[in-house]
Amino acid sequence: MKKTVEVLFSGKVQKVGFRACVREAALSLGLSGEVENLADGRVRALITGEEALIEKCISMTYSCPRAVIRQVSAIEYVYTEFIGFVIKRE
């Protein structure tokens, strides 16, 4: 069953290509959604797909080069259909 999850990443996750890495991980698993920088230095991703694939995507982000993830929180979000996976620009 598909669902949407809001994932917040904190640590050294901005200005290191992290959003692009999250996008590539998600697309490689057939997930859809969006990812954006937040003003407080975190990165927020909304990811839609099968729960097991979302969990795998989150685990794949730990291998993103130059990023240092200190904390990840994932909570269920209102189910949202996305077309592809978009990096939202500021």
Residues marked as catalytic: 19, 37
Query: Which of 48, 38, 33 is CA-nearest to residue 13?
Result: 38
Q: At what angle do helices 51-60 and 18-28 cross, to 10 degrees?
A: 140
CA distance 23 to 46: 11
Query: Which of 9, 7, 19, 89 is CA-nearest to residue 47?
Result: 7
